[in-house]
């Protein structure tokens, strides 16, 4: 990867930190924003940018995802991403809520850093393709963009939890992490 990629990633992170520090919709409680000095991240690592082969689910299966407040939210499993990470073949599933006409694919996941180095309930990624995905497409999943949901910062948010089918049996030291 190029230095330009790492620079763009750092700029993205700086922008997110500014949003968390100043924006009225920040998940950081207002009384804590003065002391907020930015989120914690793993160092950018191109090894966590993986090429994934897409399998589209033409008849998406419904999935009830539990949330941090004990509710469930309905999603549809619309795609499966197959990729290699740490020398092993792995899969992650991508979801959309029913009646969501956007192309954005929601990818909640857990890995062996969950609850240790990263938020205890898991992290998220979003893929925003510029066209509908098709079987056999190859896309980049960039774990350097993995982030903690808003509920990691405030109990006022209700966040979907990664389903067991998206629990990776490996360590993903990329993206957002908890403070040490």
Task: Give the C-alpha separation, 73 to 82, whole Å.
Answer: 25
pLDDT per residue as tens digits for the range 149-173: 999 999 999 999 999 999 999 999 9
CB atoms within 10 A of CB 81: 24
pLDDT in tens, 130-149: 999 999 999 999 999 999 99
Q: pTM to 2 decimals?
A: 0.94
List the one residue out of 82, 169, 96 whose CA is nearest residue 126.
96
For residues 60 and 78, the answer to whether their CB atoms sit within 8 Å is yes
H/E run at residue 16: helix 3-22
Classified as helix, coil or strand, 122 is: coil
Spans of all domains in the chain: 45-177
Q: What is the pLDDT of residues 63-106, one digit of tens each?
A: 999 999 999 999 999 999 999 999 999 999 999 999 999 999 99
């Amino acid at each position: 990867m190029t230095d330009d990629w790492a620079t763009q990633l750092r700029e993205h992170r700086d922008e997110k930190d500014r949003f968390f520090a100043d924006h009225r919709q920040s998940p950081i409680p207002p009384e804590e924003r003065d002391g907020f000095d930015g989120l914690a991240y793993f160092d950018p690592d191109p090894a966590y940018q993986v090429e994934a082969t897409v399998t589209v689910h033409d008849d998406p299966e419904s999935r009830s995802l539990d949330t941090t407040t004990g509710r469930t939210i309905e999603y549809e499993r619309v795609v499966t991403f197959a990729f290699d990470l740490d020398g092993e073949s792995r899969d992650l599933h991508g979801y959309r809520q029913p009646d969501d006409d956007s192309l954005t694919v929601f990818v909640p996941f857990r890995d062996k850093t969950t609850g240790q180095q990263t938020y205890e309930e898991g992290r998220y990624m979003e893929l925003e393709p510029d066209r509908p995905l098709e079987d056999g497409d190859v896309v980049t999943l960039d774990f350097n963009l993995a982030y903690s949901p808003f509920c990691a910062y405030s109990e006022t948010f209700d966040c979907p939890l990664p389903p067991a089918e998206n629990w990776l049996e490996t360590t993903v030291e990329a993206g957002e992490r908890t403070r040490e």
